[in-house]
């Protein structure tokens, strides 16, 4: 096999993801431009992140506060928006509020309160999504279904939090049909959320990863979160 330079490989992978995104959007009768490609850069170096930031990705998703802070300090995102998508501990909220334009992974009332407090202190409005765990036991992050409406009620009432929608992660290794069912359920809840809170800007449904973004777009995703299909297999020995 030829030894392509990393930038060529990455460019090729991003083009392929973009092509499949557009294809799924058109199949669903949607405008491809309304779907954001969020590059999930966890475990990548600032150099790699910077390389991808110069390519057609819309935003970045980070799971770890330390990586988010380090890449920002290195200027690696080239000014593109960054989203927080990992489990967020309340003691890390200080650093994430203000750096992440969207916190996608809000999964408890306690976390909502901590974000509100920090956003008030910094004098900013923090956009958030509520992360739901529809799969029950099988996944470790996200709030249970029973927590959705109390969290939405609370988010709507907090002055420095702006609720934009929902995020979900399907269980690993399920079939394409099961992914679609999972995404369809999340979309139904997202629609209900918009109906229940007509005064909130509910416009963001984050679902779909490297193995499932086509199904997610068919079911209405407005953000797909793509890691390995852009960067290749992750090397977890680099995890902080």
Ligand X SMILES: *Cc1c(COP(=O)(O)O)cnc(C)c1O
Which parts of this chain interact with ligand X (CB under 6 A)? Answer: 40, 42, 63, 85, 169, 209-211, 225-229
Least Å from the CB of residue 132 to ligand X: 12
Q: Between 41 and 126, name the residue whose CB sits nearer to ligand X.
A: 41
Q: Between 49 and 158, name the residue whose CB sits nearer to ligand X.
A: 49
Least Å from the CB of residue 29 to ligand X: 25
Q: d(Cα 61, Cα 7) in Å, to the nearest integer?
A: 20
- Structure-token match 């969207």, residue found: 102
Name the residue with the smallest CB distance to ligand X: 227
43 DSSP assignment: T
| C-beta of residue 75 within 8 angstroms of C-beta of residue 47 | no
Least Å from the CB of residue 3 to ligand X: 24
Q: Could you tell me which residues are beta bridge partners of residue 127?
A: 102, 162
3-class DSSP state of 3: coil
Q: Between 40 and 202, name the residue whose CB sits nearer to ligand X.
A: 40
Q: d(Cα 119, Cα 159) in Å, to the nearest integer?
A: 9
DSSP symbols for 100-150: BSEEEEE--HHHHHHHHHHHHHHT-PEEEEEEE-TTGGG-SSSB-GGGHHH
The Cβ of residue 120 has, within 10 Å, a number of other Cβ atoms equal to 16
Q: Between 40 and 51, name the residue whose CB sits nearer to ligand X.
A: 40
Q: d(Cα 14, Cα 135) in Å, to the nearest integer?
A: 29
Least Å from the CB of residue 172 to ligand X: 9
Least Å from the CB of residue 234 to ligand X: 7
Least Å from the CB of residue 163 to ligand X: 18
Q: Between 193 and 230, name the residue whose CB sits nearer to ligand X.
A: 230
Q: For residue 131, which of 117, 113, 159, 111 has the smallest C-alpha distance? A: 111
**CA angle 199–201–205, rounded 5-degree value:** 135
Q: Between 208 and 220, name the residue whose CB sits nearer to ligand X.
A: 208
């Amino acid at each position: 096999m030829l030894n392509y330079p990393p930038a060529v490989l990455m460019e090729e992978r991003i083009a392929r993801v973009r092509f499949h995104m557009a294809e799924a959007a058109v199949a669903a009768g949607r405008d491809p431009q309304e779907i954001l490609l969020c590059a999930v850069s966890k475990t990548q170096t600032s150099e790699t992140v910077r390389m991808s930031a110069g390519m057609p990705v819309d935003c970045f998703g980070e799971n770890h506060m330390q990586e988010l802070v380090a890449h920002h300090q290195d200027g690696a995102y080239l000014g593109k928006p960054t989203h927080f998508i990992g489990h967020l501990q309340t003691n890390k909220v200080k650093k994430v509020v203000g750096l992440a334009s969207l916190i996608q992974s809000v999964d408890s009332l306690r976390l909502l309160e901590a974000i509100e407090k920090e956003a008030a202190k910094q004098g900013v409005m923090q956009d958030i999504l509520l992360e739901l765990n529809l799969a029950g036991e099988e996944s470790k992050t996200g709030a249970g279904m029973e927590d959705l409406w109390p969290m939405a009620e609370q988010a709507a009432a907090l002055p420095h939090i702006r609720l934009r929608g929902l995020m979900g992660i399907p269980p690993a290794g399920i079939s394409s049909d099961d992914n679609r069912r999972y995404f369809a359920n999340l979309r139904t809840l997202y629609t209900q959320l918009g109906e229940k809170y007509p005064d909130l800007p509910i416009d963001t449904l984050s679902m779909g990863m490297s193995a499932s973004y086509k199904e997610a777009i068919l079911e209405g995703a407005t953000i797909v979160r793509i890691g390995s299909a852009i960067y290749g297999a992750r090397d977890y020995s680099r995890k902080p």
